[in-house]
Homo-oligomer: A and B are copies of this chain.
Amino acid sequence: MSDDATAFVPGHITGFFSAHPDDDPAVAGSRGAGLTLSHGVTVTVKPAPEPATFLDDEPVEMPPVADVLQTLGVSATVRAESELPLGAGFGVSGAMALGTALAANAVFDCGRSENELVTVAHEAEVRAGTGLGDVVAQARGGLPIRVEPGAPNHGRMDGISARPRVEYVAFGGLSTAEILSGDTTALTDAGESALEALRARPTLDRFLAESRRFARDADLLTDRVAAAIEDVRETGGDGSMAMLGETVFAVGTGLSDAGYDAESCRVHAAGATLRDD
Instruction: Decide yes or no: A105 and B275 within 8 Å by CB, A112-B202, A141-B270 being known contacts.
Output: no
Chain A, interface SS category: loop
Instruction: Say yes or no: B112 contacts A161, CB within 8 Å.
Output: yes
Q: Which residues, 70 to 104 on A, are CB-close (under 8 Å) to B?
A: 102
Q: Which residues of B contact A160 (CB under 8 A)?
A: 113-114
Give the residues from 135 to 178 in chain A that come closer than 8 angstroms, CB to CB, to chain B: 141-142, 145, 152, 158-165
Within 8 A of B (CB), among A180-212: 199, 201-203
- Asked whether B161 lies within 8 Å of A106 as measured between CB atoms, the reply is yes
The number of residues on chain A lying at the interface, defined by a beta carbon within 8 Å of a beta carbon of chain B, is 36
> Measured between alpha carbons, how far is A164 from B163 in the docked complex, in Å?
26
Q: Are A161 and B203 in contact (CB under 8 A)?
A: no
Q: How far is the CA of A160 from the CA of B115 in the complex (A)?
A: 9
**Nearest B residue to A157, CB-CB:** B115
Docked-complex contact A115 and B158, CB < 8 angstroms: yes
A275-B161 Cα distance, complex, nearest whole Å? 11
Tell me the A residues contacting B by CB distance below 8 Å.
102, 105-106, 109, 111-117, 141-142, 145, 152, 158-165, 199, 201-203, 266, 269-271, 273-277
Q: Which residues of B contact A270 (CB under 8 A)?
A: 141, 269-271
Write the chain B residue with the least CB distance to A251.
B277
- Asked if B276 and A266 make an inter-chain contact with CB atoms under 8 angstroms apart, the answer reads yes
Q: How far is the CB of A105 from chain B (nearest CB, A)?
A: 6
| Interchain nearest-CB distance for A238 vs B (Å) | 14
Known interface pairs A116-B202, A117-B161, A141-B271; 19 further A-B residue pairs with C-beta atoms within 8 A, sorted by A's residue number:
A111-B201, A111-B203, A112-B161, A112-B202, A113-B159, A113-B199, A113-B202, A114-B158, A114-B160, A114-B161, A115-B159, A142-B273, A161-B274, A162-B274, A164-B277, A266-B276, A269-B269, A269-B271, A270-B271
- By a CB distance below 8 angstroms, the chain B residues around A113 are 145, 158-161, 199, 202
